[in-house]
Amino acid sequence: MVVALIGKIALAGVAAATAGISLVASADVKRASAYGAPASALEAGASARYAAAIFERADLNNDGDLDAEEFEVLAVVTAELSRLNGFVTVNVEGGVRTVAAPHGDPSLSKAEKARLKIRAADEFAAIAGDDQRLGADEFVTAELERFLASDADRNGVLTGAELSSFALARARSTTISS
């Protein structure tokens, strides 16, 4: 399912993905430090690999699945980190890059945290399937669906406003502020 989804995206945007990689490479030349450099483009395969790495970190008890609580913890930690840093990290071929996100007090208010947890619980219920446990494949698929939803021009690469929309969705900033 994940592989099929990546294939679908890749078919739609092979040429564009190549253009995206060269964009990232030219950004490298301008930046001395790789980490923290703003991302200029993100392709689906890199996004899927990063999602798999996030999944491993989020599986706190290392049982190979995320339960609702682990998923909610991930949502809160991601949101708080993005506010603390003023960016969300993404992984491109060259390493970790950043996408700007609203900067602010990293500690969420009680109400913000409650809203975020309700949203995360709803999302978990929707993507975890009948067993209500989230496997790595399901997690990566959900990430790729977020990728597709942000890819406004459907060329298989996120750039500019698409990249911001994707990163903000991951940080759930819109949920917190509304």
The nearer residue to Ca ion, 63 or 122, going by C-beta atoms, is 63
- Decide if 159 contacts 23 (C-beta within 8 A): yes
- Decide if 87 contacts 79 (C-beta within 8 A): no
Q: Report the alpha-carbon distance of residue 21 to residue 17 in Å, rounded.
A: 6
Q: How many residues bind to Ca ion according to rule CB under 5 A? A: 7
Instruction: HSE, CB side, 13 Å, CA atoms: give it for residue 80.
Output: 14
- Decide if 121 contacts 132 (C-beta within 8 A): no
Q: How far is the CB of 143 from Ca ion (least distance, A)?
A: 16
The nearer residue to Ca ion, 91 or 155, going by C-beta atoms, is 155
* Contact set for Ca ion, span 40-79 (CB under 5 A): 59, 61, 63
The token duo for 148 is 């597709």
Q: How far is the CB of 64 from Ca ion (least distance, A)?
A: 7
The nearer residue to Ca ion, 56 or 153, going by C-beta atoms, is 153
User: Residue 155, interface with Ca ion (CB under 5 A)?
Assistant: yes
Taken in order 170, 98, 165, 144, the sign of the CA dihedral is negative
The nearer residue to Ca ion, 122 or 153, going by C-beta atoms, is 153
* Single residue of 151, 171, 175, 176 touching Ca ion by CB under 5 A: 151
Q: Which residues bind Ca ion (CB under 5 A)?
A: 59, 61, 63, 151, 153, 155, 162
